[in-house]
Amino acid sequence: MDPLSADEEAFWRALLQVVIALPRAIDDDFRGTGLTMSSYGVLSNLSEADGWSLRLSQLAVAGWLSPSRISRLVDSLQAEGLVTKRRAEGDGRAHVATLTEKGFGVLEQNYSISLASARHRVLDHLGGQDAASLAALFTRIAGGLE
C-alpha cells in the first residue's frame, strides 16, 4: 500500500482532530442545559419518528451509539421525564423509547443552541465550500463504516 501524500496526511490528521474535538466542543455548547450532544440527538431522532417512538436498536444506529450506551442514555432521559421506555409489542426482548411532551419542550428550548453550535463549530468555516457536496462525501464515508 502506498504511503499517504502530504495533502492526504494533512487531511487525515485534520479529520482525526475534528472527530475527537467536535463532540467535546458540542457538549460544551450544551453545558448548563442538562443535555449532551448524544442526548439531544436522541430527542431529535425521536421527534422525527412516527409517533415519536423508536426501538432502542434503531436509536443506537441513528446516533452511532452502542446498544449498552443507548440503553443507559434512554434510562437517564426517562429518569428526567423526557422519554418513556417500554417493551416492544410482540418482542419482549426489545424496548421502545417514546418522546414525552416535556422532552419535546426541552428539544424545542435547546434548538437554538444546536443551531448556533452547528453554525459556529462547522458551517461558518465552510467558506465557499458546497455543503451539499461535503454532506455527500461524509455520508459516503459514514456508509463505509457501518
On whether residue 52 sits in a domain, the answer given is: yes
Q: Helix 67-79 and helix 56-63: axis angle, to 10°?
A: 110
- 137 part of a folded domain: no
- Is 146 inside a domain boundary? no
> What pLDDT sits at residue 130?
87
Supply the range of the domain harboring residue 109. Answer: 36-114
Rounded to two decimals, the pTM is: 0.91
Q: What is the pLDDT of residue 91?
A: 86
Among residues 68, 16, 77, the alpha carbon closest in space to that of 41 is found at 77
SS (H, E, C) 61-108: HHHCCCHHHHHHHHHHHHHCCCEEEEEECCEEEEEEEEECHHHHHHHH
CATH number of the domain enclosing 62: 1.10.10.10
Cell of 42: 436522541
Residue 130 domain-assigned (yes or no): no
pLDDT by residue (tens digit) across 60-113? 999 999 999 999 999 999 999 999 999 999 888 999 999 999 999 999 999 999
Q: Is residue 125 one of the residues assigned to a domain? A: no
Asked whether residue 94 is domain-assigned, the answer is yes
Residue 16 maps to a domain: no
- DSSP category for residue 49: S
Number of domains into which the chain is organized = 1
The answer to whether residue 69 is domain-embedded is: yes
